[in-house]
Amino acid sequence: MSLASAILARRMRLARARTRALVCERDLRVVMQDGAALLADRWVARAARGRAGPTVLVRSPYGRRHVIGLIFPLIGLDRQATGAEVDWWREALANPGRDSRYWVARDYAAGVSEVAAPVQLVGGWYDIFLPWMLEDFDALRAAGRDAQLVVGPWAHISPA
């Protein structure tokens, strides 16, 4: 573990790693809803190899052959990060479908064109939210609103 990782883990009050014996399951085929198949690498404890578990997959423009992103189990991450269960986190995990009532109630896309204040949207080509930001920009422009779009060579969580 790097010094930066150790400091971050301590600051986030994460539990100590249970093992350093990791294996990488390479080129796992994941079929998306539109039928496209993506390849992923899964880093997992040797003892848990072959067992299913909730996982966060962080996509990176740097490829799959380097450990650039972080992979965390989702269930219990709130407790590890904060020391307590976080209601909104638990509720979001319990509603994985975009069409669930939980997410539909939080989708403000229909009202974007009604925003009267000038808007500046800033995102990256590798930002997971880029498709929706582009849709919002199109909706604002189609409604004749004052909107500016800035897209650069970064991801959503890139440092400034």
Tell me the per-residue pLDDT of 78-92, one tens digit each, with 9 for 90 and over.
887 788 888 988 888
Task: List alpha helices for 22-129, DSSP H.
Answer: 77-82, 87-93, 101-104
Q: Is the pLDDT of residue 157 over 80?
A: no
Phi/psi of residue 38, each to 5°?
A: -110, 150
**Residue 140 CB coordination number (10 Å):** 21
For residue 18, how many C-alpha atoms fall within 13 Å in the half-sphere facing its CB? Answer: 5
> E-assigned strands of the chain?
22-31, 37-45, 119-126, 147-155
pTM (global) more than 0.85: no
Cα gap 85→75, rounded to integer Å: 10
Task: List alpha helices for 95-154, DSSP H.
Answer: 101-104, 130-142
Phi/psi of residue 68, each to 5°?
A: -95, -50
pLDDT tens for residues 102-151? 988 988 888 999 998 999 998 888 787 888 899 999 999 999 999 999 98
In single-letter form, the type of residue at position 73 comes to P
Q: Residue holding tokens 């539990």?
A: 15
Query: What are the residue ranges spanned by the domains of the chain?
Result: 3-73, 111-155
Residues 17-45 have a mean pLDDT of 77
Q: Which residue has better confidence, 133 or 72?
A: 133
Residues 25-47 have a mean pLDDT of 79
Q: Residue holding tokens 């440092």?
A: 159
